[in-house]
Structures are given as C-alpha cells and as structure tokens.
Structure 1
Amino acid sequence: MAKGIIGKKIGMTQVFSDNGAVIPVTVVQAGPCVVVQKKTVESDGYNAIQIGFEEILSEKKVNKPMAGHFKKADVKPMKYLREVRVDAIDDYNVGQTISTEIFAEGDLVDIQGVTIGKGFAGGMKRWNFAGGPGGHGSGFHRRLGSIGMKEWPAEVNKGKKMAGHLGVETVTTQRLKVVKVMPEKNVILVQGSVSGHKNGIIYIKGTAKPKR
C-alpha cells in the first residue's frame, strides 16, 4: 500500500533510545483519513485515491458541489482533501479508513508543511545579509545597499534579494525517520523537525529517496 496520509503537527519533544541517547522528535497526528474517491487508468489516465482528513461537523460549511461529492462517496464531509498516487488501486475501497498502521518504526518519510509566517522582513532577517558598520556615524546599519546598475539596464534584476514577505512557504523535509508509532492515539514520532506551526496541517508520505 502506498504510504500517504494527511496529519497535524502537534509539537516537539524528546525520547531516549535503547542506549540512552536523546532523540529530538516531532509529534505528528497521522490521520485517520478516509478514502473519498478512486481514480483509475481507465477513467482518469492514472491510479490514485483521494483521502480526506478532519470531519466537518456543520453541513452548513460545505458548499453544494462538495456536498454532492461526499454524498456520492457516502462519507461524511472532510475539511482537508489530498490525492495520493497508488500502484494497486484494487487494494482500496471508497469509505476505507487509512491510519498510522501504514507506518512502522524505522521507516523513512517525507513531510510537507507550510512554514510559519513572519510578516514583512528586512534583508538581514530574510536573507541573512551581514549589514553595515555598527558605529554611530555610519548611518548604514541594516539597510539593503545597492540594488541595481547605472544607465544600463536602468532596472532592478528579477529575483533580487530584497525586503519582503517572509514565511508561509510550502516546504518538504525529506528522509525523516519514524521513531515510534502509537496507533491507539493515531500518533507517530519522527526524528527531527517539521515545517509549520503547532496544529498545522501536514502531508506525510513514504520518502522519495530511500537510499542516499
């Protein structure tokens, strides 16, 4: 079965290995997710399943097209949907539940999340610029400096590193090791950090780079 599930970042803590080493881990709620739709090579050109996470309690919050989509699948409306490519589509059925049981201790996973937003930031914070002299008379402490040329081409090059919006970017952290699986709580512990804030929605899948 393909390893792909929607989850939620709970926070970070630490656990101890068998030899007493401290392992920093991220606590992740992985599912449970429900199969909402199946896509096949015959109907869509590829095999995939659409999974849903976190039930919507109020039907008023579901628009008519999505309400019909969930009604056709005979599942409760879900807040978050994600498509997962699979090889054996016959292994899945609409309405089936996918949980932490698809993971085992020692597995390597890739986790996709949205980084924490930090608003408008200057060049030093956003791009780690060194800044100017620290003396009182310099008048050039945290400024950007030159951003372009003279008469030609008389414009700022596209992609120039400048002040601007920092954070809220989709980032995938690869090859995180699953340290522990707790199916009774729908929780897995992965070694290392995961992008995003607490209670942020993340997507966990089997790593694209099993070997280095």
Structure 2
Amino acid sequence: MVRYAFSKIGMTSTFTTNGSAQGVTVLKMQPARVLRHETLENGKVVVVVEYDTGHKNKLVRGWVVDNPAEYQVGSPLKAPSLNAGQKLKITGFSKGRGFQDAMTRHGFGGGPASHGSRFHRSPGSVGMRAEPGRVMKGKKMPGQDGNVQVTLRNVQVAYWSTEESVMAIVGGVPGARGGIVFV
C-alpha cells in the first residue's frame, strides 16, 4: 500500500462527544504524483512516488503494492478514504536535540550537588578492570539525541476532511512543526 505524506501543522485540542477535551495533532496532506513503476527480482512491483513538500528538493519514496494498475504513471495520488475513529500507523523523525550529556540523554540522576562531591553530571564508571579491559558496546554515554525514525501504531483519527486534505490525530506525532510524517 502506498503511504501518504503529511506535513505536521501543530497541536490543538478538541472535544469528544461526551464533552471531555483531548489533544490532537493537525496534519495536512502533501500533493504527490506517481513517477514510475519498478519491478523487483522477486516479481513484486514498487510504485515510486514524488511528494511536493514545498522545498526545493522533492521527496521521493517507493512502496511495494499488490495492484500497480491502480497507480498510473504521472497521475496524482488520490486522497485516502478515512473515517473518524479509524486506527492508523504513523512514521516520522523525532526532534533532533544535538549532542547531549548522559544525564539529559538517558535520564541519569547525577550525584549530590554540594559538600565537595565532585560528581555532579558525569555518567559515573564506564569501564572494567583487566578483564575485558574495555567499555562494553551499548553503554549509555553522551552523544547525539533525537532525530531517529519513530513509528506509532494504532493512533486514532479524530477528524478527516477529503476536500481540505486535513487530518487530526489523537495525541502527539513525532517531529517538529512543518516536518513530514507518513501515514
């Protein structure tokens, strides 16, 4: 199935039918057109789609589909048929936070703040003694935080307008405002 690209507009709140407030993320569908069909070695067909994100460089992605005849080369992607309450899978990139220390990145508690402890924000002991005499792989250390692909499953549609191509999702969606997510 071809995935649809949406731009994250922002967050707001709506009211449910019983009157309780819920936070929603508003997404706007990006225009897209089919570029070409590619056949893989195993016989499956990939539909390559170009999304117009409003930037100089277009976003190009390919998806394996069961019936490639539905997607004519050069034709625009039709808006999906969605209903309020429907469950979806959303994939996007989380906000990048740059290089972070171990406390910020992994939530370490740190040491005492006073009485000359000299252990405040450091990660603590990281290595071992003579055997194996190295830092083990996967050790929680300072480094790049965020900017990783995040997939949310079973998120609920609160609102969908085919004419405006605007959707509201219950809860948060990965990424910053203006970021692209795939539904």
Q: Same fold (TM over 0.5)?
A: yes
Question: Is 1:3–1:102's contact at 8 Å kept on the other side of the alignment?
Answer: no
Tell me which residue corresponds to 2:47.
49
120, 124, 127: which one pairs with 1:141? 120
Tell me which residue corresponds to 2:16.
17
Q: Per-residue deviation at 1:95?
A: 2.1
Tell me which residue corresponds to 2:147.
168
Runs of 4+ in 1 over 4 A off after TM superposition: none
Tell me which residue corresponds to 2:72.
93
Tell me which residue corresponds to 1:115.
94
Give the secondary structure class of the aligned counterpart of 1:4. coil
**Structure 2 residues not aligned, in runs of 5+:** none
Q: For structure 1, which segment, 48-57 or 131-140, has the greater mean C-alpha deviation from structure 2 after superposition?
A: 48-57
Q: Provide the C-alpha distance between the structure 1 equivalents of 2:106 and 2:159, rounded to a whole number of angstroms.
A: 36
Question: Is 1:100–1:188's contact at 8 Å kept on the other side of the alignment?
Answer: no
Instruction: For 1:141-160, list aligned pairs within 5 A.
Output: 141-160=120-139
Q: For structure 1, which segment, 105-114 or 158-167, has the greater mean C-alpha deviation from structure 2 after superposition?
A: 105-114
Q: Per-residue deviation at 1:3?
A: 5.5
Q: Per-residue deviation at 1:23?
A: 1.7
Indicate whether 1:5 and 2:11 are aligned: no
Tell me which residue corresponds to 1:31.
30
Q: Alpha carbons of 1:87 and 1:195: their partners in 2 closer, same or farther (altered >3 Å)?
A: same
Which of the two has greater helix per residue?
Answer: 1
**Structure 1 residues not aligned, in runs of 5+:** 62-77, 205-212
Question: Is 1:32–1:186's contact at 8 Å kept on the other side of the alignment?
Answer: no
Question: Is 1:120–1:163's contact at 8 Å kept on the other side of the alignment?
Answer: yes
What is the identity, as a one-letter code, of the residue corresponding to 2:46?
Answer: A
C-alpha offsets along residues 56-107 of structure 1, whole Å, 9 cap, x if unaligned? 78xxx6xxxxxxxxxxxxxxxx701111222222222112222433322222
Identity of aligned residues (%): 35
Q: Provide the C-alpha distance between the structure 2 equivalents of 1:162 and 1:32, rounded to a whole number of angstroms.
A: 41
Give the secondary structure class of the aligned counterpart of 2:80. helix
Q: Per-residue deviation at 1:144?
A: 0.9
Give the secondary structure class of the aligned counterpart of 2:4. strand
85, 96, 104: which one pairs with 1:125? 104
Q: Alpha carbons of 1:44 and 1:10: their partners in 2 closer, same or farther (altered >3 Å)?
A: farther
Q: Per-residue deviation at 1:160?
A: 0.8
What is the identity, as a one-letter code, of the residue corresponding to 1:155?
Answer: R
139, 143, 157: which one pairs with 1:178? 157
With structure 2 as the length reference, what TM-score do the two structures score? 0.90
With structure 1 as the length reference, what TM-score do the two structures score? 0.78
Tell me which residue corresponds to 1:65.
none
Q: Alpha carbons of 1:37 and 1:44: their partners in 2 closer, same or farther (altered >3 Å)?
A: farther
Give the secondary structure class of the aligned counterpart of 1:185. coil
Q: Provide the C-alpha distance between the structure 1 equivalents of 2:155 and 2:167, rounded to a whole number of angstroms.
A: 12
What is the identity, as a one-letter code, of the residue corresponding to 1:47?
Answer: V
Indicate whether 1:194 and 2:173 are aligned: yes
Q: Provide the C-alpha distance between the structure 1 equivalents of 2:176 and 2:81, rounded to a whole number of angstroms.
A: 25
Q: Provide the C-alpha distance between the structure 2 equivalents of 1:148 and 1:11, rounded to a whole number of angstroms.
A: 44
